[in-house]
Amino acid sequence: MIIAIDGPAASGKGTLARRLASHFSLRHLDTGLTYRAAAAAILKQGVSLEDEAAATDVASKVDFAALDRAALSLHEIGEAASKIAVMPSVRRVLVEGQRRFAKTSPGAVLDGRDIGTIVCPDADVKLYVTASPQVRARRRTDELNSSGITADRDAIHADLVRRDERDSTRSDSPLRPADDAHLLDTSKMDIETAVRKAVGIVDSL
């Protein structure tokens, strides 16, 4: 079984994906971390974020078994990730690895921006998770504050809107719901309600 979950930054799709994977005993891949890992390596090596050939080389060496969420959560890394994510050859090498992950037994939950449209168009279930930009900015700010990082909600809001814009308007694999995706707006839901609804959608198929 493959469950594809897409949506904008801080929509709650990551938490939902982890919870669904655990509920249905599937493996989980946060594909955003694969873009973040490539971006972090590029920043570390001092390679230009405009150099597609160098970025592709770095992306081809990302180790999917060693993605460290905490280390990759920095704001600058997310910003750099969305810049290299517009490059078709970077996407090609990361998508290859993501498809390999999805096809490995017993199946997987993948979350990202293009899972239902490009990475796993034949997924058994597709969810598109959204929430208003205000709610997403509040959640991300609370998340950062609770991990000891001082965060300004207005700055986070501006950043999310900018990143959504870049992710939705790029020509290769833009963020959009697949035609057969189930839409889940979590603006007025807590995580337990969102998980219950998502499990209900999967069980009903």
Nearer CB in complex with ligand C5P: 31/56: 31
Stretch that binds ligand C5P, among 99-107, 109-117, 138-146, 188-196 (CB under 6 A): 109-117
Q: Which of 101, 124, 108, 111 is nearest to 30 (CA)?
A: 111
Please answer whether residues 109 and 3 qualify as being in contact, where contact means their C-beta atoms are separated by less than 8 angstroms: yes
Tell me which residue of 194, 192, 147 sits closest to 13, measured CA to CA. Answer: 194
Residue range at the interface with ligand C5P (CB under 6 A); choices 101-109, 112-120, 123-131, 152-160 = 112-120
Could you tell me if 164 and 9 are in contact, meaning their C-beta atoms sit under 8 angstroms apart?
A: yes
112 binds ligand C5P (CB under 6 A): yes
- From residue 136 to residue 165, the character string flagging contacts with ligand C5P as x (rule: CB under 6 A) and all else as - is ---------------------------x--
Pick the piece of the chain touching ligand C5P (CB under 6 A) from 19-27, 28-36, 42-50, 59-67.
28-36
Binding test (CB under 6 A) with ligand C5P, winner from 62, 85, 131, 156: 85
Residues that bind ligand C5P (CB under 6 A): 9, 31-32, 35-36, 78, 81-82, 85, 112-114, 163, 167
